[in-house]
Amino acid sequence: MKYLTILFLFYSQLSHALEEEIENWFNQESLKFLEIMNNSDRNNNENFEEYIKFITNNFAVKSIAYGLIPESIILKSNKSDLYDYEISFQNYLTKTIYNLSNSSTYAEIELIDIDLKDNIYQINSKMKEGKNSINLYWKVASINSSYKILDVIVENTSYFVTKKSEFSKILRKNNGDLRKLIEILNKI
Amino acid sequence: MKTLLKAIVLNLLIFFSFNNLSFASEADGVSSIRYDEIYDPLEPVNRSISSFNFFIDEVAIRPIVKTYKFIAPDPVEKSISNFFGNLKEPIQVISFIFQGEFVKSLNSAGRFTVNTITSLGTFDLASRIGLTKNETDIGLTLAKNGISSGPYLVLPIYGPTNLRDLSGDIIEFIIDPVSNNIPNREYVYIGDALNERYEVDEEIELIRNSSSDQYEMLKSIYYQNRNSQIEEDYVQNLPTPKIYIE
CB contact under 8 A, B243 and A104: no
**Interface with B, mutate which of A62, A166, A167, A171 (most B CBs under 10 A):** A166
What does the pLDDT read at residue B25? Answer: 34
Among A5-19, A105-119, B106-120, B157-171, the range scoring the smallest mean pLDDT is A5-19
Residue that wins the pLDDT comparison between A19 and A84: A84
**pLDDT grade for A18, boundaries at 50, 70 and 90:** low
**pTM attached to this predicted model:** 0.81
| Gap between the Cα atoms of A68 and A176, Å rounded | 13
Kindly report the nearest CA distance between residue B124 and chain A, in angstroms: 14
pLDDT tens, position by position, B150-163: 999 999 999 999 99
Residue that wins the pLDDT comparison between A177 and A107: A177
Q: What is the mean pLDDT of chain A?
A: 86
CB contact under 8 A, B225 and A156: yes
Percent of chain A with pLDDT over 90: 46
SS3 of residue B49 by DSSP: helix
| Gap between the Cα atoms of B135 and B141, Å rounded | 11
Which residue type is seen at B194?
A: L
CATH number for the domain harbouring residue A96: 3.10.450.710
**pLDDT grade for A91, boundaries at 50, 70 and 90:** very high
pLDDT tens, position by position, A27-70: 999 888 888 887 766 677 778 888 899 999 999 999 999 999 99
**Domain count within chain A:** 1
Among A105-109, A111-115, B20-24, the range scoring the smallest mean pLDDT is B20-24
Q: Where are the domains of chain B?
A: 2-88+137-232
> What range does the domain containing A71 cover?
2-187
| Gap between the Cα atoms of B229 and B207, Å rounded | 21
Tell me whether B232 touches chain A (CB under 8 Å).
Answer: no
CB contact under 8 A, A99 and B234: no
DSSP A8-76: HHHHHHHHHHHHHHHHHHHHHHHHHHHHHHH--SS-HHHHHHHHHHHHHHHB-HHHHHHHTS-HHHHHH
User: Average of pLDDT values for A73-98?
Assistant: 92
* ipTM for this model: 0.80
Closest Cβ–Cβ partner in B35, B235, B244 for A122 = B235
| Gap between the Cα atoms of A122 and A124, Å rounded | 6
**pLDDT grade for A6, boundaries at 50, 70 and 90:** low
In terms of average pLDDT, the best of A122-131, A177-186, B65-74 is: A177-186
- Using alpha carbons, select from A90, A99, A106, A7 the residue that is nearest to residue A52: A90
Q: Residue A63: its chain B contacts at CB < 8 A?
A: 241-244, 246
What does the pLDDT read at residue B123? Answer: 93
| Gap between the Cα atoms of B89 and B111, Å rounded | 7
| Gap between the Cα atoms of B215 and B220, Å rounded | 9
| Gap between the Cα atoms of B12 and B7, Å rounded | 9
**pLDDT grade for A13, boundaries at 50, 70 and 90:** low
**B48 C-beta neighbours (distance < 10 Å), count:** 13
CB contact under 8 A, A165 and B38: yes
pLDDT tens, position by position, B31-65: 445 556 789 999 999 999 999 999 999 899 889 88
Say if CB A134 and CB A127 are below 8 A apart.
yes
Kindly report the nearest CA distance between residue B174 and chain A, in angstroms: 30
What does the pLDDT read at residue B178? Answer: 78
pLDDT tens for chain B, 246 residues long, are 444 444 444 444 444 433 433 333 333 333 445 556 789 999 999 999 999 999 999 899 889 888 887 888 888 888 988 998 999 999 999 999 999 999 999 999 999 999 999 999 999 999 999 999 999 999 999 999 999 999 999 999 999 999 999 999 999 989 888 777 777 778 877 888 888 888 888 778 878 777 778 899 999 999 999 999 998 888 888 999 988 876
- Closest chain A residue by Cα to residue B241: A67
Instruction: List all residues 6 or more positions away from B72 whose beta carbon is below 8 Å from its beta carbon.
Output: B80
What does the pLDDT read at residue B19? Answer: 41
DSSP A69-120: S-HHHHHHS-HHHHHHHHHHHHHHHHHHHHHHHHT---SEEEEEEEEEETTE
Instruction: List all residues 6 or more positions away from A40 whose beta carbon is below 8 Å from its beta carbon.
Output: none
Say if CB B186 and CB B180 are below 8 A apart.
no
**Any bridge partners for residue A117, and if so which?**
A120
Tell me whether B240 touches chain A (CB under 8 Å).
Answer: yes
